[in-house]
Amino acid sequence: MIFSNLLVKWYLQNKRDLPWRNTQNPYYIWLSEIMLQQTRVAQGMPYFYSFIENFPTVFDLANATEQEVLKLWQGLGYYSRARNLHKTAQIVAYELNGTFPNNYKALLKLKGVGDYTAAAIASFSFNEKVPVVDGNVFRVLSRYFGIESDISIASTKKEFQDLAFELMPNDAIATFNQAIMEFGALQCVPKNPNCSVCVMNHSCVALQKKMVNQLPVKSKKVKVSQRYFNYLILEDENEKTIINQRTDKGIWHNLYEFPLIETLADVDDKIIATLIKEHLLFENKINNIFSLNDKSQLHILTHQRLHIKFWKIEINGVLQNGIDIEKLKTYPFPIVLFNFIENHFRN
């Protein structure tokens, strides 16, 4: 078929040399696929190398503590991926004797493994004929074939999976799946693709109909909430501070943070002082309160915009459970807090 032949030929000439493409080891492929969910390759690559250096086998990852895994994952975001990664490693190591399931349906039963990831592992490691369908694949197929189905609707995914399956050759399954994703990542990019140099430009429906920028169709809009975080950076007479672990479900679950007061809007030091007393956050007498950033720092998440202020709280006496800077830096923090610590707590 024209599409498949052009696609594979383009891939063999233009593919990036990525470490997880040079192996059929399901552990490495699974690790890379989990890391690359909603993450660019350039960002994920150092983490991949770091993980396989620290945890060369699934047994090493399973035997690590969750805190060790989260610390190594720090900065990659979407931390539920790291927690699921750890739990799945324990299942594979302890219940499956270190052997990953060798087919799509069985892989789907692993925690954190959805349709796309299961298809990727099954095809790349075990050469099972199952199509991968991610954002890149939606974009390539919708543009080339002029498909105007709304990809935010669940039934559309089946439509694209069926089409991708029809297009797949019976041999070189892994190559085809890699090729269509790579084509979407490098050539058929979301905005302003260079169609003039595209090998598909003579047969692409979207290009002929001048619909490249309109496809794929995605009507569902994500509601974004605004949240206001006030972090209290306590310092006692021994220059120690305190942190807490986030145990509630939601963002940054099981990561660490400074004592937090969430408000409905930006607040000043007088309001913070009042809120501290109301919340009874600590028993020590406050000597001084001042803002470490007069303007809130904006931290953007997928569905949330966090407006973050850091408040220095100098207190009298010694903090119960206070920790020093050296120990502080060993805990896993959200990247916005890790960066603050690196800048504020200099040795």
Could you give the residue ranges of the DSSP H alpha helices within 148-193? Answer: 154-167, 173-186
Contacts for 8 with CB less than 8 Å, ≥ 6 apart:
169, 172, 175, 176, 179
Question: In angstroms, what CA-CA distances link 223 with 218, 220, 264, 302, 305?
Answer: 14, 10, 17, 10, 11
The C-alpha atoms of residue 165 and residue 119 are separated, in whole angstroms, by 11
Beta strand pairing call for 225-235 and 260-263: antiparallel
- Residue 297 backbone dihedrals phi, psi, to 5 degrees: -90, 125
First to last CA, the chain: 62
Confirm whether 66 is a catalytic residue. no
Q: Is 219 helix (H, G, I), strand (E, B) or coil?
A: coil
The C-alpha atoms of residue 334 and residue 76 are separated, in whole angstroms, by 9
Q: Per DSSP, what are the bridge partners of residue 235?
A: 314
Beta strand pairing call for 256-257 and 297-300: unpaired
The C-alpha atoms of residue 262 and residue 227 are separated, in whole angstroms, by 7
Determine the length of the chain.
Answer: 347
User: Which residue is catalytic, options 33, 53, 257, 314?
Assistant: 33
Q: Per DSSP, what are the bridge partners of residue 241?
A: 323
Catalytic (active-site) positions: 33
